[in-house]
Amino acid sequence: MSTQQARAGTFRRLLRQPLTLFCLAFLGLQVLVALAAPLIAPYGPTELSVADKLQGPSADHWLGTDDLGRDTLSRLIYGTRTALLASGESVAIGLLLGVSLGLFVGYRGGWWDRIGMRVADVMQSIPALLLALALVAVLGNGLGNAMLAVGFIFAVSFMRITRAVVLAEREKLYVDAARVLGLRPVLVMFRQVLPNVSPPLIVQASIALGTALLIEATLSFLGVGVDTSQVSWGAMLDASRQHVAEHPLLAILPGLAITLSVLVFNLLGDGLRDAGSPRSAGSARPAKETTPDTTTVTETGDPTGIGPAALTDLTPDPATPAADPDQKEPRPALTKAPARVAATAPAAPADALLRVDGLTVTDPGGAQLVSDVTFHINRGETFGLVGESGCGKSITASAILGLLPKGVTVASGSIRLQDTELAGLTGEPLRRVRGGRIGMVFQDPGSALSPVHTVGRQLTDAIRAHSDLNSAQATERAAELLGLVGVPAPRQRLKDYPHQFSGGMAQRVVIAGALACDPELLIADEPTTALDVTIQAQVLDLLASLRERLSMSLLLITHDLGVVADSCDRIAVMYAGQIAEQRTVLDAFAQPRHPYTEALLAAVPHHGSGDEPLATIPGRVPPAWDWPQGCRFNPRCSYATDGCRTTPVPIDIDGVRCLRAAELQLAGAR
């Protein structure tokens, strides 16, 4: 969105807030009075006239005079300049120092956060006014020194507030999305996180303006604020103390000015916060979902996507005994003795694009979230990673991209993108990989896009992070990307905010961002979650067509076997942080060799009479700190033996992690 359009949206929201408009008008009047003080003040602020002292309102002195004959109206006008200058100076210092430090320690965390908060605790343990008086005593009297002291006090408050909101904001998906796109940490902090945490800072800044005015008035009232050459409302109150009985306006007028100014400052923050945020626009609605001409929509009555058409080529081999249709739980045919299990996984080709070898990821407590995961992805291939929630699919993807949560680390193993080792990669080399060579599509497009930036801004940031294009060229490239993923009227939609897109269109925007710099590998983590069936088909067809058109590889993470059947070449079934089975989709669906794969296939809804109950897998995936001994699936497996419960199970040369893989004859997809 252009600057003019952003301002127009803010202005429209302001028009719906009359109280905010009044506060802005009052503040604008004060600024005008302060700037034009020499022109509109009838007398100089320090001009004495002893003969006219303590006069009441008259034609010569509209608001009377003080004990030295100085014009009260003129001093109020010049006092406005002092009040605004003092408040603005102190709050500017507080914002610059406090927000920068709070953003840094909140985003970085760790020792930076601990040290920063200990310093803030010490500073805030001292009363603000007492600290200001101490700093003024050290630096000397004067408005500049007084407000410098107040600015340091405000910096601590702004730091704590910024740090608190950043701690929550940094865990949101759009921050990970910005890191995946390859934005430098400074850009992530100041261009992504800071605008999203600005609403509470706006409110705090408005409160601080009023507080600064009160502190300045208090210091001037005590005689340690402005010097004799300047005028302050606080100093006017101090001068009026001895003459309140005979001339009450001397105290009422500056007191009223202070009260109204503080009230306006406090009310203004809430209004500006609401007007400046596009999320407060209640009338904005997502655009109606449209089907782009470049996308083929697959309509099916099967909500899983697994229907007769999807599984036409997944018919079991005729040599495989068919299950008895009258037997609800077919048992396997057994051979005389179990086959020996090899301790090595299938070898990856030398030219594989991505090779994950023996990946083990642990949490801060030492529990293995992912254990000895090995797989590879060939060039131009769609590889599926499937399993229930909690099986380690997303953690594996996060390890590939270096996006593991704080405290979660790669304990062992290798992650190689061609000749680049990604495990342990940090800093600038990792940033060049993110977005430049690997893109990622997150499962929730609404969370993966920053709500306070237009999609054009977010796409151009990603493009410019990996190229030398100027702003105009990056905008042109962003429009091309939106057109590539099938967003209608792409140039116009660049100006829209994420909340103005429907779910399917927002997911297309996320895909466009992932493709911004032509990655070699695209990771799609549950890309069709929360989308209706028709839009799911559109997104899947779009990913497939983009993979072919751009000659990239695709890692598809999902728990939907219909998506796997429709999109993937090979599949790795994960359970409890391990690869249970890794084979081609055709082989895994037609002749599964791990009981977990069979159970997943049996639990998929299928066309039938409608009277047959839906199959389920008993129990649930255990937490990482409570993995079972032996085969991790054994508590839920109807084929488990005593050996399965006690013997660690490596993955065999055929890609199956099951002691009884050679003797079981499992049912394939129906």
Residue with more model confidence, 6 or 598: 598
Give ∠ CA 330-333-559 in degrees, rounded to 5: 55
- Is the per-residue pLDDT at 306 higher than 60? no
Residue with more model confidence, 139 or 234: 234
* Residue range 19-277, CATH number: 1.10.3720.10
Question: What is residue 606's predicted lDDT score, i.e. its pLDDT?
Answer: 67
Q: What is the 3-state secondary structure (H, E, C) of 152-175?
A: HHHHHHHHHHHHHHHHHHCCCHHH
| Range from 34-48, 316-330, 340-354 that averages highest in pLDDT | 34-48
Question: What is residue 216's predicted lDDT score, i.e. its pLDDT?
Answer: 85
Instruction: For residues 248-276, give the mean pLDDT.
Output: 87
- Is the per-residue pLDDT at 482 higher than 50? yes
Q: Where are the alpha helices (DSSP H) in 466-514?
A: 471-484, 490-493, 503-514
Q: In this structure, are residues 588 and 599 in contact, taking their beta carbons and an 8 Å threshold?
A: no
Question: What is residue 285's predicted lDDT score, i.e. its pLDDT?
Answer: 44
Question: What is residue 244's predicted lDDT score, i.e. its pLDDT?
Answer: 83
**Distance of alpha carbon 24 from alpha carbon 218, whole angstroms:** 25
Each residue's pLDDT tens digit, 617-653: 888 899 999 999 999 999 999 999 998 998 888 888 8
Residue with more model confidence, 299 or 37: 37
Tokens at residue 252, please? 């009422």
Tokens at residue 380, please? 């131009």
Question: What is residue 311's predicted lDDT score, i.e. its pLDDT?
Answer: 40
- Is the per-residue pLDDT at 473 higher than 70? yes
Each residue's pLDDT tens digit, 423-449: 989 888 998 898 889 999 988 888 889
Question: What is residue 442's predicted lDDT score, i.e. its pLDDT?
Answer: 86
Question: What is residue 319's predicted lDDT score, i.e. its pLDDT?
Answer: 38
- Is the per-residue pLDDT at 333 higher than 60? no
- Is the per-residue pLDDT at 335 higher than 50? no
- What is the pTM for the complete model shown? 0.71
- Is the per-residue pLDDT at 554 higher than 90? yes
Instruction: For residues 157-179, give the mean pLDDT.
Output: 91
Q: In this structure, are residues 62 and 73 in contact, taking their beta carbons and an 8 Å threshold?
A: yes
Sorting pLDDT into bands at 50, 70 and 90, what band is 530? Answer: low
Question: What is residue 527's predicted lDDT score, i.e. its pLDDT?
Answer: 86
DSSP assignment string, 8-59: HHHHHHHHT-HHHHHHHHHHHHHHHHHHTHHHH-SS-TT---GGGTT--S-S
Sorting pLDDT into bands at 50, 70 and 90, what band is 607? Answer: low
Question: What is residue 91's predicted lDDT score, i.e. its pLDDT?
Answer: 93
Question: What is residue 529's predicted lDDT score, i.e. its pLDDT?
Answer: 74
Instruction: For residues 372-389, give the mean pLDDT.
Output: 93
Question: What is residue 314's predicted lDDT score, i.e. its pLDDT?
Answer: 42
What 3-state DSSP class applies to 599?
helix
Instruction: For residues 178-195, give the mean pLDDT.
Output: 90
- Is the per-residue pLDDT at 166 higher than 60? yes
Instruction: For residues 541-560, give the mean pLDDT.
Output: 89
Sorting pLDDT into bands at 50, 70 and 90, what band is 276? Answer: low
Each residue's pLDDT tens digit, 336-372: 333 333 345 667 787 899 999 999 999 998 899 999 9
Bridge partners, 583 (sequence order)? 571
Distance (Å) of CA 77 to CA 37, 95, 230, 236, 427:
6, 27, 12, 12, 55
Sorting pLDDT into bands at 50, 70 and 90, what band is 328? Answer: very low
Percentage of the chain modeled with pLDDT above 70: 86
Distance (Å) of CA 334 to CA 331, 338, 494:
9, 9, 61
- Is the per-residue pLDDT at 378 higher than 90? yes
Tokens at residue 182, please? 């390859």
Sorting pLDDT into bands at 50, 70 and 90, what band is 9? Answer: low
Tell which residue, 627, 571, 568, has the closest CA to residue 594: 571
Question: What is residue 313's predicted lDDT score, i.e. its pLDDT?
Answer: 41
Within 10 A of 326 (CB to CB), how many other CB atoms are there?
Answer: 6
Tell which residue, 616, 587, 588, 621, has the closest CA to residue 604: 616
**Mean pLDDT of all residues in the chain?**
83
Tell which residue, 183, 289, 281, has the closest CA to residue 506: 289
Q: Is 112 left (phi over 0), alpha (psi -120 to 50) or beta?
A: alpha
Instruction: For residues 168-195, give the mean pLDDT.
Output: 89
* Chain centroid, CA 159 distance in Å: 20
Question: What is residue 136's predicted lDDT score, i.e. its pLDDT?
Answer: 74
**Distance of alpha carbon 657 from alpha carbon 128, whole angstroms:** 65
* Domain locations along the chain: 19-277
**Distance of alpha carbon 422 from alpha carbon 649, whole angstroms:** 27
Question: What is residue 30's predicted lDDT score, i.e. its pLDDT?
Answer: 93
